Amino acid sequence: MARYGWNSGTNIVGNCFYMKREALYGKFSQKELHHLNESFGPSNELIISLQRSNQHKTIDNGILSSTLQQEAKFLASYNYEKNTLWRKQARWKSMFCNPSRSAFLGSAASSLNDTLVQGTRWNCGLLENAFASMPLLQTMCYSYYALQPFYSLPSWCLAIVPHLCLINGISLYPNPWFMNFSCIFLCSLLKHLLEALNTGGSVLTWCSKQRIWMIKSITCYTYGTIDAILKCFGMKQPCFSPTNKVSDDEQAKLHQLGKFNFHTSTKFLAPLVTLVMLNMIAFTGGIARMVISGGANELLGQVILSFYILLESYPIIEVMAWRKDKGQVPASVALLSFVLSIILLLLGSVVLRMT
């Protein structure tokens, strides 16, 4: 995997990946098996597995032997294929195949809660790979994915700092810098919109992707980062949180209507609702300040940003205000989020005045 990208290698991410044996190992005759250690390394178990007629029993009553467990760790090490012909000569040319008819159908998480639980687990694992000891080129290959959880840091800053500054009358995007920031922001949105349309999506699909990215940045990216750091320092034991992939009728109906189901745990829902409430308060206060004090030129950028985030947060506002189905926000979560938003406002005002 250290050679993919610039050597026409494929980018293997996720599961449900299938590869022909010959594509991975090449062709060889049975009489050449005793020479395969030179090509595929010193693992005899791997060499034995290359024989199609092999009936080698690896699991006894559902239990993998300790020897095979150690062998698997040995094979999975980053330097196993070093100095082998496999690493020096193995090449394959990847291609992008996207037929109109789905080539493979699988099951994904059916609810927002399971999606965020799964995302937390994935992002924790990605960040653990970033902390692992890998060769430089391999680290560069995986860094795009491995460092993805760190998106949570700028996301939290963007969700809090501009709104606190707005309600306290502090300008972050004064003229003429406002036009530069606006151009970069619009180009980023248009690029994502173009990608969504080119892949057969719609404007609604683009909006949903924007919203789910913002939700993930605040929730599972954040919790995945925290879990990875705690595991790195030995403060949390590895665990696996299973996800449900069975959808019920009510869930399917909400999906068909294009609605989010926010029937999720408080640890995921409370941060989202808190930030939406903070944004609503800041937007209202910013408009009032612009009307009363006349600071439109200085605060216009932050007001526009706040309005955009409100548009993206419409599904959350909807379940907070008038939706009464299974996906609504519980009153206890709404109350907790309101208290947290007030605390953020007070702390932010104190800190900004001190600086």
* One domain, residues 79 and 174: no
- Per-residue pLDDT band for 24 (boundaries 50, 70, 90) equals low
Most confident by average pLDDT, 17-31, 92-106, 184-198, 289-303? 184-198
Tokens of 355: 């600086």
The contacts of residue 17 (CB under 8 Å, 6+ apart) are: none
Q: What is the mean pLDDT of the chain?
A: 78
Q: What confidence tens digit (pLDDT) does each residue in 65-118 have?
A: 677 777 877 877 767 777 777 666 655 555 666 677 766 666 677 778 888 888
Local structure of 314: helix, strand or coil: helix
Count the domains in the chain.
2
* One domain, residues 166 and 47: no
Q: Which range (32-41, 234-243, 314-323) has the least confidence?
A: 32-41
161 inside domain: yes
197 inside domain: yes
pLDDT on residue 66? 73
What phi and psi values does residue 59 have, to the nearest 5 degrees? -125, 130
The contacts of residue 327 (CB under 8 Å, 6+ apart) are: 254, 259, 260, 261, 262, 263, 319
Looking at the chain, list the stretches that DSSP marks H as alpha helix, in order from N- to C-terminal side.
21-25, 36-40, 44-49, 66-76, 85-89, 112-131, 136-146, 152-167, 177-198, 203-218, 220-232, 249-256, 266-293, 296-312, 314-321, 331-354
Residue 77 sits in which domain range?
29-51+70-90
CA proximity to 114, closest of 265, 337, 285: 265
- Per-residue pLDDT band for 5 (boundaries 50, 70, 90) equals very low
- Per-residue pLDDT band for 139 (boundaries 50, 70, 90) equals confident
* One domain, residues 199 and 341: yes
